[in-house]
Amino acid sequence: MGDTHRFTLPTEVDLGDITVRDGLQALEHYVPLEDKVKLAEDLILAGYKHVEVSNFGHPKFLPQFKDVEELLTRLFNSERVGSLLKQNGGDVTICTITINERACDRAIEYKTKNGVGPDYILQMVSTDENHHKTNSGSSLDDYWKMSERCIKKAAEVGIKMCGTVSTIWGSPMRGTRVTDLMKGVEFSKIYLEMGADYIEQADHDGSGDPARVYEYFKMITDPDLMGKWADEKYHLVHCHTSRGMGLACYLAALQAGMTRFETTIGGTGGQPANTVDGIFTGGTGRYYHFEHLYSGLVDTEDFVVMCEAMGIKTGIDIPRLLDIGRWFRDNILKITTEGMTTLLGNASATTGLDVATIQALEEDDSNIPALVDQIVANKKPADEQAETRLRGNMEGMLRGMVNYLRWKAWGPHRSESIISDVPPSPFLAHLLDE
């Protein structure tokens, strides 16, 4: 078949996996350090050259990442992958999140003390100022100034900055949901000219569609709009798939010439959990989506398989990757008997309902409104605002319990490739079980 009949696609892509950070942050369950270390190691051994592993944010609100320092130390000293890390002479880079200045300072302190640390840290602005204020707690003007300070002091210890631009294709905030693509272009230039090494072009809640994703990435690589920053090497594609369009959006980005992408195992991830093992932590506040656990990224397994099926080289060992996906599903996501006992006990203490009442929701959840009324009556919130917040929290917890009781899992695993295996593409013929 002639080339005139084919998609225009890159010949290879540069992939990052961010499951250990983004994938786990949405789970309402603390994942043990040992499992995080194994997951990061396995991803690196499968061929990933960029992994995002944790968050230096306050552990009170983000208890999933209370082990950030120990996780980094374990990886740099790992017998399995330590020698592969860039700061140990290899070519694998490590990224952590530092949304505010204190988090940035913690990352710098870690590297100064240990001699090694994250290669990249990440900060984020939203083109929707309402979303930005809710997510970061500061105005855009103040955040830009803070980010500029962080870029400079991080550079002094050899840490580079990834500047994330969010809400490019839309916002989850009521009243400001429709956003302007051009603002994403403008914010990307600001970050790059400030000294960011590259931009994570982010659709954090699955607002994008393939047509607008294609349009935006043609804009972002247009020299008339971006000048010297029009090169695709400065731009990383990060899309969630809340509405089932994630892979289509990534295909649109590929057709627009993008070559840098990041994903998560099983399509996990999304807004940080505001409840962990049945205990409220606050997270980043109220969930944007009714079904919180269905707002993860494009899943790693399916995107790698799709690329390789189209002849795009990823550098990833597919059989090894699919094994990681199955292990993640059967070990990280599966709720153990002990885990369920802990969850039910904590949920009972939090809500004031007995364990049997909560367990009964598995068969019939129609009485959740009445149970919320009961909880509110017993807890006697101080004012209307406190009552509204309490009702939202309690309803969210009980509806979450319904899922956990029925699924016996901390979240859905959304990869189809680990179920159906690879397709019969000529590029994947060597992997077919025939």
- C-alpha 305 chain-centroid distance: 20
Would you say residue 82 lies in a domain? Answer: yes
Last residue of a domain, one of 277, 311, 332: 332
372, 302: one domain: no
Indicate whether 245 pLDDT > 80: yes
The CATH number for 223's domain is 3.20.20.70
Indicate whether 86 pLDDT > 60: yes
Range of the domain at 50: 8-332
What is the predicted pLDDT for the residue at 173?
81
DSSP annotation string for 286-300: S-SSSSGGG--BPBH
Contacts for 338 with CB less than 8 Å, ≥ 6 apart:
none
Q: Which two tokens stand for residue 201?
A: 């072009």
Strands 275-276 and 14-17: unpaired
320, 186: one domain: yes
140, 22: one domain: yes
328, 357: one domain: no
SS (H, E, C) 50-77: EEEEEECCCCCCCHHHCCHHHHHHHHHC
Strands 279-280 and 275-276: antiparallel
Band (3; pLDDT cuts 50, 70, 90): low
Would you say residue 423 lies in a domain? Answer: no
Rounded to a whole number of angstroms, the CA Rg of the chain reads 22
Query: Which residues are registered as beta bridge partners of 12?
Result: 313
What is the rounded distance in angstroms from the CA atom of residue 397 to the CA atom of residue 343? 11
What is the predicted pLDDT for the residue at 186?
98
Indicate whether 216 pLDDT > 90: yes
What is the predicted pLDDT for the residue at 362?
97
What is the rounded distance in angstroms from the CA atom of residue 391 to the CA atom of residue 395? 6
What is the predicted pLDDT for the residue at 144?
97
* The residue type at 370: A
What is the predicted pLDDT for the residue at 7?
87
Span 265-284, average pLDDT? 92
What is the rounded distance in angstroms from the CA atom of residue 180 to the CA atom of residue 50? 30
Nearest-CA neighbor of 122 among 166, 164, 73?
164
DSSP annotation string for 288-348: SSSSGGG--BPBHHHHHHHHHHTT-B----HHHHHHHHHHIIIIISBPPHHHHHHHHHHHH
Would you say residue 313 lies in a domain? Answer: yes
Global pTM exceeds 0.85: yes
216, 306: one domain: yes
Span 347-354, average pLDDT? 96
53, 87: one domain: yes
3-class DSSP assignment, residue 14: strand
* The residue type at 111: K
3-class DSSP assignment, residue 126: strand
231, 249: one domain: yes
Would you say residue 417 lies in a domain? Answer: no
Span 166-183, average pLDDT? 89
Cβ-contact 176, 126 below 8 angstroms: no
Cβ-contact 221, 185 below 8 angstroms: no
Nearest-CA neighbor of 18 among 202, 165, 173?
202
Cβ-contact 122, 162 below 8 angstroms: yes
Would you say residue 412 lies in a domain? Answer: no
Cβ-contact 19, 39 below 8 angstroms: yes
User: What percent of the chain is predicted at pLDDT more than 70?
Assistant: 99
Please state, rounded to an integer, the average pLDDT across all residues of the chain.
Answer: 95
203, 258: one domain: yes
Q: What is the pLDDT of residues 101-152, one digit of tens each?
A: 999 999 999 999 999 999 999 999 999 998 898 878 899 999 999 999 999 9
What is the predicted pLDDT for the residue at 285?
77
What is the predicted pLDDT for the residue at 298?
97
Band (2; pLDDT cuts 50, 70, 90): low
What is the predicted pLDDT for the residue at 136?
84
Indicate whether 369 pLDDT > 70: yes
Would you say residue 414 lies in a domain? Answer: no
Would you say residue 120 lies in a domain? Answer: yes
Would you say residue 249 lies in a domain? Answer: yes
Q: What's the total number of domains in the chain?
A: 2
326, 342: one domain: no
Cα dihedral 300, 302, 304, 309 in deg (nearest 10)? 180
137, 238: one domain: yes
21, 146: one domain: yes
DSSP annotation string for 198-215: EEEEEETTS---HHHHHH
Which H helix or E strand runs over 161? Answer: strand 160-166
Q: What is the pLDDT of residues 28-78, one digit of tens each?
A: 999 999 999 999 999 999 999 999 999 999 999 999 999 999 999 999 999
Indicate whether 323 pLDDT > 80: yes
80, 108: one domain: yes
Sequence-ordered alpha helix ranges (H) in 29-178: 33-45, 68-76, 101-114, 129-136, 140-155
Cα separation values, 345 from 29, 61, 277, 331, 370, Å: 14, 21, 9, 22, 21
Contacts for 147 with CB less than 8 Å, ≥ 6 apart:
123, 125, 161, 163, 191, 194
